[in-house]
Structure 1
């Protein structure tokens, strides 16, 4: 993996985490936290969406959408666990 790929990976994670924080109000983790939430969200969506038969296209925009969906799921799970 080249340095360019790592930079794109981090940018996609940061944007996805930030968007998920906006969608699930009350959750903002700062730059590093947003990157982590976005990356974990991408893994969650990468597992769940194909299992549900939902496919997304390629490219950076679809990667951000994909990771944001997973990050929203992650933040909702965190909210449920915190309330319990």
Structure 2
């Protein structure tokens, strides 16, 4: 992976993490840095899964890959929110 690929993965992960946090109703008591990390990890895992099932190389925007990444980020934020709130209590 080149430097531009890493930088773009960080930017996409940031957007996906914040978008996932906005799509979840209610308040999530996790820090923003954790949301960003979850978004980056979800973006990388989503890309790997999309590549494995053969939907990562389409013409235009890869909507299925993007939806997969957002769903993974939502699951990650929900899990982190639950675990983080238990740890803080």
The gaps in structure 1 that reach 5 residues or longer are none
TM-score, normalised relative to structure 1: 0.61
Separation (CA, whole Å) in 1 of partners of 2:50 and 2:79: 16
* Aligned equivalent of 1:21: 21
**Matching of residues 39-50 of structure 1 within 5 Å:** 39-42=40-43, 45=46
- RMSD over aligned Cα atoms: 3.5
Aligned residue in 2 for 1:72:
74
Deviations 1:41-83 (A, max 9, x none): 2355468789xx8x64447654443221101111222344446
8 Å CA contact retained: 1:16, 1:34: no
Tell me, in whole angstroms, the C-alpha distance in 2 between the residues paired with 1:47 and 1:4.
Answer: 18
Report the counterpart of residue 5 of structure 2 in structure 1: 5
The Cα of 1:12 is off from its aligned counterpart by 1.0
Q: Which range moved further: 66-75 or 21-30?
A: 21-30
Between Structure 1 and Structure 2, how many residues are aligned? 80
